Structure formats: structure tokens, C-alpha cells
Amino acid sequence: MPPIYVKPENALKRSEELLALGTPQSQQQAFENLVEVFQSKRFKHTPINVLEPIAIKFIDLCVLLNRKAHARAALVVYKNAAQTTSVASIEKVLNHFIAQAEERLSVASEQAKTEVAALADAPVVDDDLPLQPASILLDTFVDSAGDRERIERRLIAPAQKFCWDAYDISLDIAKSNDRLEIIYQSIAHRAFNFCKVHQRKTDFRRLCEQRLRKDLANAAKYGHQQHAINLSDPETLSRFLDTRFLQLETAVELELWQEAFRSVEDVHGLVAGRKHTKPAMMANYYEKLTQIFKAEGGKQTAVFHAAAWARYFQHAERAGIVNDKASGCVLLSALAVPLGEVESKQRLVALLNLPKMPTREALVHDAAAKHLKRVPADLRQIYHILEADFQPTTACKVLAPLITSLSADYQPYLPALREVVLSRLVQELAQVYDTVTLSHILNLVKPFDNTPWATDMSSLEKFLMTACQRGDINASVDHVAQTITFVSNTAEPNRLSNLAICLYNTIQYLNPAPVASRADAFAAAIAQAEEERKAVAHRRQIVTKRRELMEEANLRRQKEESTALAEKLKAKAEEDARRAKEAAKQAEIDRVRKQINETKEAEAKQLAASLAAKGALKVDISNIQDLDSSKLVAMQVEQLAKEKKEFAERLRIVGKRVDHLERAFRKEERPLLVQDYERQKTEDKVTHERSNVQAREQAIAHQKAVLEMKNRLGRMMPDYLSAREKVQSQREEEFRLSREKARRKIEEEKEKLKAAVIERRKKDKERRDREEAEALEREQQEREEAEQRAAEEAAREEEEARAAAEIEARKAEAAERARKLKEERDAERAKLDEIARKQREREEEAERRRLERSSGTGAYRRPEPAAAAAAGSPGAGTPPAIAPTVVKAGGWRERAAAKAAGGAGESPSSTPAPSSPAPARASPQSPAATPAAAPPNGEAVPERGGVYRRGMGVRGGRGGGANTPPSTRGGATGGSRW
């Protein structure tokens, strides 16, 4: 029987009534009542305005009873019912679910704070007092920190787990649906905030990896479906990017740098190849990259950090959100890149959307060209010192006050700039000197002593070793002589020629060649300017002409490309359809072939694995192609034979080597045994004498020390005895006071226990009296119920006896009627037998007469009218009417007798036998039969079951087996079928 359908509004009302009781059982009943509503097949056909309060109430019960699985199933059912009619209702239910989970977490946090605040403070124990057993036990069992952890684990941890599951369930419900995209993004933002506030790093990784990235991949994979996420929509893309940027900020705040890098890759995957991305969004993207690529992280991160700053400024300037410190950060980040070559990282280059690997020279040149005039004066001076005119002897003196005056925004670049300054200093010294003392380098960097760049000998040696290891400088450090030797590169030009070029440039700078005259110089400058103007105008004309030609060519090319593209798309569609059919056919063939091969390989691998597990096969099965059973068995046999042979050979070689070695040892040690024995005796004797002397001396010294200690301790014995007596008396007094206090406490506890026992016994007596009264009342009630049941049982038995008597009477009446019916049937059967006997006699008489007529012994005479009338004939020439004989239904004997009786009443004889009886009447129990009339044409009709023959008799059927005489003209046979 199907369950009774309850209307949802009635179920809601019933649940509210149960919840008003406030008991756990009523809450469980209300929950089960609403579960039936969500499991009903009519749920989808219920209006949303009726389902929404039911869903909200069910969510409240799931949060209260911690039923996450039921909440997920209910939200899935509700989403399927409401997503086509009311998306706002789904958002409302999801927000309510998350709000209830967050409220449960806040309530649990407040309760935990209350319980932690109510904990008793640990008692303060004076360290000067002697230890007592009570204080030791208290210190052992009282642990406030452990209590706090247990309280938080009992209250806060389940609420946090449920809140996280609520976020996950809501995201799962709202995923991959463009109508629920806004609520999906808002839930993701709330989940990020939850992970950040509660420091849930593992949950944050799970949220990013198993939920957001997976949902984004599925959205791209199933983009052809209805209501799928369309990332081509600018608003949708903007919302996804906002979520990813918030994910990146959360990862940075949680210091999950690997997850932050993956978030950057997610953002890059969303914005890569898209032309309509907002500049502000891209600026935010590159700003987060500057936080991930730190300047002090080495060459790799420093160069990408500087490139990220350059890209940030480029997009921030377009968006109009550039701050005052951005230009300085761009310049300092480029200057802070360490010197030397950097290994190419195409993955990071792609994240920055750069065409090639950035280098320090390109970054510094670009930053100086764009930002040198915007930065403060001290930053410009640092740039000129490091890049334009670096003087090894004065650079440190000039840089020392500059780095101390830098603002706090530029302080993170100081460690990397220190490495660059020291590298530049060592490289400049390497161009002039072959060997330099470390003390000379320390003197050059001494102005940095009171600055963040302070350098001592150990830090200088560490820097030199690191720079040599990185390849920034090519030198060796002599720690004994405290010098550094630079190794010259043979591939460089001759140093003498370099020196000559430097000296020539210096002379030209100090004493330049004089100009002929001032007028000639002005004339030459004017002529050169005119030539440059003409060249510029000519180039402008060429550029304009080329631009026009390029535009015309582009228009023509675009038109040709559009036509060719349409044709190509049409041909490609046809080709794709053909390839798809061929691919489907080939895929089916490949699938069947692959399935057959996999089955064979699986069988072979299973056999190989079983052999390897038994240890019989020691060959790498993964490198063997075309495995089969016979090959594996052959390999097994070969492997066993080879191992057996190798083992026997190793045993033989080892045994022979051991035998020879032992024989050689015995042979060599035989002459040395006597000498060794004599040497041992001598050494043992000397060792024994020396040990005796040492033992005697040690015993004497120990005796002297013990006597001296005894004398010293004997002088302080009176003080010890007095102090011990004082302490014992003090302890005895404390013990007496404690015992008296304990005795009084025991007496108080005894009195309390005695009062409690008396009160408990009094309550027990009252309870027993009440239970006895209730038992007596129950017994009286049960006795009355038993008497009532006995009376009902007696009445029921009397009714059953009366019904049985009536049944017996009806059975007796039925038996009497059956007996009478049987007697009637027997009498009728006897009557029918008598009729059949007479019929047979008439048939024999008719047969005899037929034989007489055929033999001519007698002449046929027409019967007289009086005889015909006496026989009951209606007239001359008319056969007698046949009186029907109705036979009561019975077996085959009764049917045969009835048929015979019917034939006897239709005898064709004109003069019936005198003994022929009247036709039998129908039985009163049988239904009346309709008499059969003779055919009017006087033709003979065969009897039932016979064969018709004209002029011949008809062979009797099953009626009695008698032969009927042939009919004469004007005669008829009764009971015929035709």
C-alpha cells in the first residue's frame, strides 16, 4: 500500500508544532516529517512559494541536527524544482544555509570563550615552601592549557567543519550554471574569508584545487550545454577574475606561496589571449606578481619582480591608479637585479605576458628612459652612481648618506642593492688590479658601517664566495694572505690595447683639439641641421606613402581572406563530417582490437605476476613485449636453470677459497705459537705486579681521604642534630594541625553523608510506596480486563457453536436431497433400460420383415385406415408424429438410451407391434424439449452420427449400435441432424 500523501504546507505546520515542544524527540520527528516531503514524487509540482519556507525550515533542522548529507540532497532536489522558475529563491535558500552555519560557528565560539573564562586559575605555589603531596597532585592533574584545547576541540571544531561543508555543498549546488553564477562567486568570497579568519590552510588548498579549478575546467569542457558558463561574456569574466584575485590575496595573507603561484596561473589562464581585459584588473594582477616575486629571492625572482613592476606601471597608468611610489619601485627593482646572466624560465615569462626573457640591462634602460625624471633626487643619484659613472673609490662615500635617507617603501630593496654595489665594486677593481687585499676592499666599504649595508670580514668573504659560485666574478680568495686574486679571461682583447684606448680617451677629454673658429662652427651646425630637416621630411613622405599602400594591401588581403575563409570553412565542415564518420568507424574497430589485446595482455600479465610472486621469474616484465603463456614458462625454466648453475659455481669457488685460506693460516701460525706463549707469560707477569702496586697505593690514599672527611663531619655533627630536631618538631606540629583539620573535615563529611543517606532512604521509601500503589492499581485493572476478555471469549464460543450446528443441519439436508436425487436417477435409469430393450426387439422385428421382403416370401400391404388410426397416425400416407423423449442429463449410457428411445418412437412400420408402449414423458426435473417434425418431402434423413445413403439403411451411431431399416416414401426418421 503506497504511503499516504501529506500536503507540504500541512507537513510544515506539523513540524512547527513539534518544534514548539522543544525536546530532542520532537525535533527528530519534525525532521523526519520534512524528509518525507522532499522524498515525495509530487515535490516538483508544488509551487515555489510553498516549498521555500519548507526548504528554509528543513535547512534549520539540518544545521541543528548536524545532517550534512540530508542538507545536500534537499538542496539538490530544491534546485531541480526551482531553477527554471525562481533563481532568486535558490539564492535565498543557499544564503540562509550559509548564514545558519556561520551563526552556529559564532555561537560555538562564544560558548567556548565563556567556558574558558570560567576555568579556575592555577594556584600560585611559593617556591620557598617545601613540596607537599597535595601540591604535587594538583600540578599533575590541573592543566589549563589542555582544558582550553579540549573545550575548543569539543565546541569549535565541529562547528568549523560544518561551516566548511556548508560552503562546499553550496558551491557544488551553484556550479556550472550561469543563472547561479553570482551566488557562486559570493559563496566563494565568503569561503575565502572563512579560511583567512580561522587560518584553515588545508581547507583553502582543498577549496582552490578540488572545487574552484575543477569547476572552471568543467565549465570550459561543457560550455556547449544549456545554461553553461560563458567566459566570453565580459561581466562573467570580470566576476571570475575578481574571485581569482581575492583567492590570490588570501593565499598571500596565509603565506601559501605555492597556492598563490597556482592562483596567478589561474588568472593568466583567464586573461591570456583576451583583448577586452580592464587595465585596472591587469594592474592588480601584476601587483600580486610583485608580491610573489620578491626582490631578495635571487637572480630568478629579482628579474621577474622588476619585470612585474614595469608591467604594473604600464597598466596602472592606463587605468589612472598610479601611486607616487610606483616609479621609484620600478627603478629600484631594476637596479636591484643581480649582475650576470639569468636562466630562461618560459613558464614565468608567459605569466608576465612578455615576448622574451627579461634581462637586467633592458629593464634598467627602460626604467631610466620612462621613470628617471619622475623619481626623487636621491634615487636619480643612486642610478647615476651605479649605472652612469661608477667610481670605486668614492661610490661608497656618496651612497652611504643616500641609503639612510630612503623612505620606508624602498627599504625592501636595500639588501639586493648591497649585493649589486659590492659586485660592481669588485668588477671595477678586477679591471685594474690582479690581486687586491681584503682589507683594501673593507676600507672602500667602510662608509657603510653605520648603515644597513654594514660589511665585516666574514660577510665580505661570504659575499665573494657566493659571487664566485654564481659566476658574477672570476677570482680566488687566499684566506692565509687575506687577498683576492682575479683570473683574467684569455678570450678578452689585449690589456695593453685597452689601456691605450683609455689613455687616448682621457687625453681627448682633458685637452680636446681646438675648433678653427666660432663662425665656422655655427655655419657647420646650421648646414647639418638643414640636412637633417630635409632627411626627416623625406622620411615622413616615405612613411606616409608606405602607410597608404599598406592600408590598401590590408583591405585587399582581408577581402581575399574572408572569401577564402568561407570556402575553407565549408570544405572543412564537409571534411570534418567525413572524418567524423571515419573516425567513429575506426574508433569502434580500434576499441574492439584494443579490448582483445588488453584481454590477452591481462591474462599474460596475471600469469607473469603469479610467477613473479612465487619467486620463479626474476625478469623485468614491463620491458618484455608480446607476452604469452608459453614464452613465460620457457623464461621461468631458463631462469631457474641459470640460477641453479650460478649458485653451484659460487659454492664451489667459495669452498675452495676457504680451504686454501685456512690451510695457509694454519701453516704460518704453527712456528709462532711458542713465541707468542712466552711473550704472553712475560706481559701477564709485569701487568699483574703493576696492578698490585696501583691497588695498594689507591687503598692508602682512599683511607686517608675517608679519615679526613670523618674528622670534618664530626665537627659539624652537633649543628646537624640541633637542626634536625628543630625541623622534626616543626613537621610534627604541622602534621598534628593537618590531622586535626582532616578529622574535622571527615566529621563534617560524615554528617553530610548521614543526612544525604537519610534523605535518600526517605525518598526511596516514598518511591516504593508509590510504585506499590501503582502496581496494585495496575493489577486491579488487568484483572478487570481479564474478566472482560473471558466474557467476550465465552460469547464468541457460544456463537461459534451455534454456527457449527447450523452448518451440520445444512449438511444433513444436502445429504438427504442427494439421496433422493440418486433414487430418482436410478428409477429413471431402469425405465430407460426397459425402453431400450423394447427398442431392440422392434429393430429385430423390422430387420426380419426387411429380409422377408427382399426374399419375396411375403407381400407388402398398406395398412388399413383403422389400423393407422389405432396407431395414432393423423392420416393415410402421413408418418406418425414423433413424441419427444427428454432424458435427464447424465453419463454416456443415459445419452445412448435416450437416442435409442427416440429411434423406437419413429419406426417406419405401418403396423406397429401391439406391445409397443406409449412414448415416454419427460421427467419433471428435466427441461422441456422441442419435438422434431418430419421433413415434408418425405426424404430419408440419417440418424445423428450415421451416414446418409439413398435407398439404403442408416448405420446407427453411438446410441445403441442397432441398424435402422430403410425408409419408404412418405416415412421419416426422428432425431436427425440434417
Q: Residue 30: inside a domain, yes or no? A: yes
Q: Assess if residue 217 is contained within a domain.
A: no
Number of CB atoms found within 10 A of residue 283's CB: 23
pLDDT tens for each residue of 320-331: 888 888 888 999
Asked whether residue 727 carries a pLDDT value surpassing 90, the answer given is yes
* Range in 66-70, 158-162, 626-630, 721-725 with the lowest mean pLDDT: 626-630
Cα angle value 704/710/714 (rounded, 5°):
150
pLDDT for residue 957 is more than 80? no
Specify the 3-state DSSP secondary structure of 485. strand
In a domain, 432, yes or no: no
- The residue among 696 and 897 whose pLDDT is bigger is 696
Cell numbers 515542544 correspond to 21
pLDDT of res. 184: 92
Average pLDDT, the chain: 78
> Does residue 67 lie in a domain region?
yes
Global model pTM greater than 0.95: no
Question: Domain for residue 5, yes or no?
Answer: yes
Distance CA 166, CA 102 (A): 9
Q: Using one digit for the tens of pLDDT, what is the confidence trace for 123-153? A: 444 444 444 554 444 444 444 445 677 887 8
Q: Picking from 471-485, 767-781, 936-950, which range would have the lowest pLDDT averaged per residue?
A: 936-950
Q: What is the mean pLDDT of residues 865-874?
A: 40
Candidates 204, 163, 185, 153; CA nearest to 68 is 163
Q: Give domain status of residue 83, yes or no.
A: yes
Q: Answer yes or no: is pLDDT of 11 > 90.
A: no
More confident residue, 5 or 677: 677
* Cα 513 versus chain centre, distance: 84
Could you give the residue ranges of the DSSP H alpha helices within 445-517? 457-470, 495-510
Per residue in 376-409, is it b (16+ CB within 10 Å) or e — as a string?
bebbbebbebbeeeeebeebbeebbeebeebeee
In this prediction, residue 353 carries a pLDDT of 80
- For the ranges 275-284, 481-490, 607-616, which has the lowest average pLDDT? 607-616
DSSP one-letter code for 210: I
pLDDT of residue 264: 82
To which H or E segment does residue 477 belong?
strand 475-478
Q: Are 33 and 18 in contact (CB under 8 A)?
A: yes
**Is the per-residue pLDDT at 363 higher than 60?**
yes
> What φ, ψ does residue 937 adopt, rounded to 5°?
-80, 0
Section 627-656 average pLDDT:
82
Across the range 249-260, mean pLDDT stands at 85
256 CB neighbour count, 10 Å cutoff: 18
Q: Which three cell numbers stand for residue 346?
A: 618560459
More confident residue, 745 or 115: 745
Residue 943, strand partner residues: 976
Give the separation between CA 122 and CA 120, rounded to whole angstroms. 6
Residue 478 pairs with which residues in a beta bridge?
483
CA 787/CA 81 separation, integer angstroms: 59
Cβ 138 vs Cβ 123: under 8 Å = yes
* Contacts of residue 447, Cβ cutoff 8 Å, sequence gap at least 6: 396, 397, 399, 400
Does residue 946 surpass a pLDDT of 70?
no
Do 289 and 329 touch, CB atoms closer than 8 A? no
Per-residue pLDDT at 958? 43
3-state secondary structure 411-439: HHHHHHHHHHHHHHHHHHHHHHCCEEEHH
pLDDT band with cut points at 50, 70 and 90 for residue 764: very high
- Most confident option among 21-25, 261-265, 517-521, 841-845: 841-845
Task: Give residue 269's pLDDT.
Answer: 80
Question: 187-196, 437-446, 872-881: which has the highest mean pLDDT?
Answer: 187-196
The total domain count for the chain is 1
Instruction: Give me the amino acid identity at 621.
Output: I
Q: Give me the pLDDT at residue 402, please.
A: 87
Q: Of 965, 944, 845, 842, give the one whose Cα is nearest residue 898.
A: 944
The predicted model gives 506-533 an average pLDDT of 74
Mean pLDDT throughout 919-937?
40
Residue 320 falls in which region: left (phi positive, over 0), alpha (psi -120 to 50) or beta: left
Bridge partners of 483? 437, 478
Higher pLDDT, 229 or 724: 724
Residues in Cβ contact with 175 at an 8 Å cutoff, skipping those fewer than 6 apart: 184, 215, 218, 219
Mean pLDDT across 614-626: 56
Positive or negative torsion for Cα 514, 516, 518, 523? negative
Q: Count Cα atoms within 13 angstroms, Cβ side, for 959.
A: 28
What pLDDT, on a 0 to 100 scale, did the predictor assign at position 235?
Answer: 82
Q: Are 319 and 297 in contact (CB under 8 A)?
A: no
pLDDT band at 578 (very low <50, low <70, confident <90, very high): confident
How far from 445 is each of 252, 467, 483, 555, 653, CA to CA, in Å? 37, 17, 16, 64, 72
Residue 502 has pLDDT above 70, yes or no: yes
* 143 within a domain of the structure (yes/no): yes
- pLDDT at residue 909, as a whole number: 40
Residue 398 has pLDDT above 90, yes or no: no
Does 880 map to a domain? Answer: no
DSSP string, 611-646: HHHHT---S-GGG--S--HHHHHHHHHHHHHHHHHH
Indicate if the pLDDT at residue 387 is higher than 50.
yes
What SS3 state is found at 450? coil
d(CA 216, CA 229): 9
Alpha-carbon distances of 945 from 903, 967, 975, rounded to whole Å:
13, 17, 10
> Is residue 410's pLDDT more than 70?
yes
> Model confidence at 274, in pLDDT bands (50, 70, 90)?
low
Q: What is the pLDDT of residue 276?
A: 64
The mean pLDDT of 876-885, rounded to a whole number, is: 41
pLDDT of residue 126: 44
Choice among 144-148, 247-251, 278-282, 763-767 with the minimum mean pLDDT:
144-148
Contact 153, 108 (CB under 8 A): no
Assess whether pLDDT exceeds 60 at residue 584.
yes
HSE-up of 614 (CA within 13 Å, CB side)?
9
Tell which residue, 273, 206, 217, 210, has the closest CA to residue 240: 217
pLDDT of residue 4: 57
Q: Backbone phi, then psi, for 433, in 5-degree steps?
A: -115, 155
Split at pLDDT 50, 70, 90, the class of 545 is: confident
Write the pLDDT tens digit of every residue in 166-190.
999 999 999 888 888 899 999 999 9
Count of beta carbons in the 10 Å neighbourhood of residue 900: 25
pLDDT of 100: 92
For residues 407-429, give the mean pLDDT: 86
868 pLDDT more than 50: no
Give tens-digit pLDDT for 732-742: 999 999 999 99
Q: Over 70: is that where the pLDDT of 867 sits?
A: no
> How many other C-beta atoms can be found within 10 angstroms of the C-beta atom of residue 309?
28
Structural domain boundaries, residue 62:
1-119+139-174
Quick one: average pLDDT of 719-738?
92
Average pLDDT for 389-398: 85
